[in-house]
Amino acid sequence: MNAHRDRTYVVVMAGGIGSRFWPMSRTAHPKQFLDILGTGRTLLQQTYDRYLPLCNAHRMLVVTNSQYDDLVAAQLPDVPRGNVLLEPSRRNTAPCIAYAAFRIAETDPDGLMIVASSDHLILRQREFEASMEKALQAATHEGALVTLGIVPTRPDTGYGYIQHREEDSLGLPGVHRVKTFTEKPDLAMAEQFLASGDFLWNSGMFIWSVRSILEAIERHAPEMYNLFAKGRGIYGTPAEADLIKAVYEQCTNISIDYAVMEKAQNVYSIGADIGWSDLGTWGSMYAYSEKDPQGNVIQGRNVMTHEVKDCIINMPKDKLVVVQGLQDMIVVESDGILLICSRHEEQQIKRIVNEVKALKGDRFV
C-alpha cells in the first residue's frame, strides 16, 4: 500500500493523436482509446488500472483535448467528470502539466503529483509500484523533481536518455541526481551510453510535489507560470473553461523537458526495470504481442495466411482476408483505410499521414 496514497494525485496525459499508429489511430479516435494489444482494455484503461494501487480514483486527473471528453467519460466512468481537464488546443506537455498543477494546488497545495502517459505498456506491475513508492518518497524532499528512468536493454535511437550522478542520492538508495538530458542520439552515441552504464531511457513519467513543480515552472518558464497564475480562484469553477481557452491561445508549445527539466538543478532519477515500452509504433506493438508459429501478430477472426512470416496483420473483426507470400510487412485496415507497408520502414508512416492530409484532406487522418 502506498504510504502517500492520501496525498497522491495522478495526472494522465491523454491528448495525443498517435499518428505513427495510423490508420487505427486517427484524430477522432487516437491510440490511447484503442485496445491496441487485444487485451480487452484500452491503453487509457490499462493506465488507470496501473495507477489505482497508488491513487484513489477521485484523485486521478486526465488532461486531454476537448474533443475527447466523451471518450474519457465512457472509458473511465469512475473518474469524476470534473477531473477531466480539457485543452482547447495541443500545446505539448509543459502547459498540460502546469494546468494540472494549478488545478490541484487550488484545493491541495501540499499534494504529491505523478505525471503519466496514457499509452505506455508496463509488464511488471509489482516492480513499477515499488519504483513509484521510492519516487514519491524522494519527492517529499524539498524541491526534488523526480523522473522515472528505464534501465536500457539495447542502444535504442528512438528514446531520449538521462545521465545520472552516482554520488548524489538524497540519502535514498537508487535515487540519483540527474547530470544531463540527451535527445534521441545516433546509434554510435546510443551504444556509448549503453556501455557506460550511467544512462537511462527517459520514460516521460514524473513525480514531484505540487509546490515543487509550480516553483520550478515559475523559475524556468515565468511567462507560462504567470498565464496560469491569473486563474487562481477560478480553477474548479464554471469560469475555468474560458480562462484556459485564453491561456492556451498565448501559451508556448513546449515540452516539460525543455521548459523545466533540462534547466533545473534539483532533478533526480530512479532507474526502473519494469518491462516498459512507450508503444509509439507498430514495431513496438509487434515486440510485445503474442505471435503465431510463423512470427505473425494477427488480429481479426477471419484472417487466413499462406507462406506469411513476421508480419503484422490487423483487420476488422469479421472481414475475411487471405494473405499469401508476405514477410516483414504491416497490413492494417481500419474504417475504410488500408495500409500496406514494410515493417522496417514504419518510420515513414508519419510522413505518409502528412501526405494523405495534404492530398486528401482531414477526413482520412
The values of phi and psi at residue 277, to 5°, are: -145, 145
CB 201 within 8 A of CB 161: yes
- pLDDT tens by residue, 64-102: 999 999 999 999 999 999 999 999 999 999 999 999 999
325: left (phi over 0), alpha (psi -120 to 50) or beta: left
Q: Which three cell numbers stand for residue 32?
A: 490511447
Closest CA to 282 of 345, 335, 324: 345
Asked whether residue 300 carries a pLDDT value surpassing 70, the answer given is yes
- pLDDT tens by residue, 241-265: 999 999 999 999 999 999 999 999 9
- Among 21-30, 98-107, 158-167, 177-186, the range with the most confident prediction by mean pLDDT is 98-107
At residue 102, the 3 state secondary structure works out as helix
Question: Which residues lie across from 269 on neighbouring strands?
Answer: 147, 176
Residues ≥6 apart with Cβ < 8 Å to 138: 144, 146, 170, 172, 175, 207, 268, 270
CATH code of 5-277, in short, is 3.90.550.10
Q: What's the mean per-residue pLDDT of the chain?
A: 92
Give me the mean pLDDT over the 44-71 stretch.
Answer: 96
Say what the pTM is. Answer: 0.92
| pLDDT for residue 325 | 97
Question: pLDDT grade, residue 9 (50/70/90)?
Answer: very high
Cα separation of the two ends of the chain = 43
Give me the mean pLDDT over the 49-56 stretch.
Answer: 96
The amino acid present at 109, given as its one-letter code, is P
CB 275 within 8 A of CB 123: yes
Asked whether residue 1 carries a pLDDT value surpassing 60, the answer given is no
Residue 347: HSE in the Cβ half-sphere, 13 Å Cα cutoff: 3
The values of phi and psi at residue 356, to 5°, are: -60, -45
Question: pLDDT grade, residue 341 (50/70/90)?
Answer: very high
Q: Which three cell numbers stand for residue 177?
A: 541526481
Question: pLDDT grade, residue 2 (50/70/90)?
Answer: low
Percent of the chain with pLDDT over 90: 70
CATH 3.90.550.10 positions along the chain are: 5-277
- Count Cβ atoms within 10 A of the Cβ of residue 110 and give its class: 0-12 exposed, 13-18 middle, 19 or more buried: exposed
